[in-house]
Chain A
């Protein structure tokens, strides 16, 4: 069964450093998402991406964040200058359709720790 994969599974970085989180969505999906979950809190939407551009983003997704689909398979989330409060589990998701038509399938997550 196709699945969303994410690398790395864990990342430790120093405050102020840049990190890139990688995702490989399900191959025939068109919509891609990033969510995060701070430890003990709810999963929060960050950004959605379709047709090589951002469709929607939340207040969390400020100028420190960017997303890219550099080739036909990868979908990346970059945090330009990490802060302590960026420590969280980051989930990538993909779906075939948007607007209530299709399930979003989530990857296993990348646990980011900013020291």
Chain B
């Protein structure tokens, strides 16, 4: 797989359920970031987790990082229809450029 690959590619859930998205990467990283993109729109930064951190919370978001497995997960709790978007992980290594995955499309139905 390529650097920053998310799975699943698409996820469909009901409002109120939790959504979990995973990201795997290949090379060593400085940090890993999660972004959200509504259809045809810009990228909104959600959360950054550094390579020496294992878990981070922000509101309804919980991110974990396992550097031994080179993987991260994004959990959105109590999802809402407004959470419908594509979610991307991006790894930063070397001189601060971000390498993005292909993203997970999340659909939250009312």
Which residues on A are within 8 Å of B, measured CB to CB?
A: 31, 33, 35, 41-45, 48, 55-56, 58, 89, 91, 93, 95, 97-100, 103-109, 111
- Decide yes or no: A42 and B100 within 8 Å by CB, A103-B48, A106-B43 being known contacts: yes
- The reply to whether A103 and B33 form a contact with Cβ atoms under 8 Å apart is yes
- Contacting B97 at CB < 8 Å: which of A56, A89, A107? A56
- Contacting B45 at CB < 8 Å: which of A89, A97, A105? A105
Q: In the docked arrangement, what's the CA distance between A43 and B103, Å?
A: 9
Q: How many A-B Cβ pairs are below 8 Å?
A: 68
Contacting residues, chain A, for B42 (C-beta < 8 A): 91, 106-109
- Decide yes or no: A43 and B96 within 8 Å by CB, A100-B30, A100-B51 being known contacts: no
With A56-B96, A89-B40, A97-B96 already in contact, 10 other A-B pairs whose C-beta atoms are closer than 8 Å: A35-B100, A41-B102, A42-B4, A42-B88, A42-B102, A45-B98, A55-B95, A56-B94, A100-B96, A111-B40
**A86 CB, nearest partner CB in chain B, Å:** 18
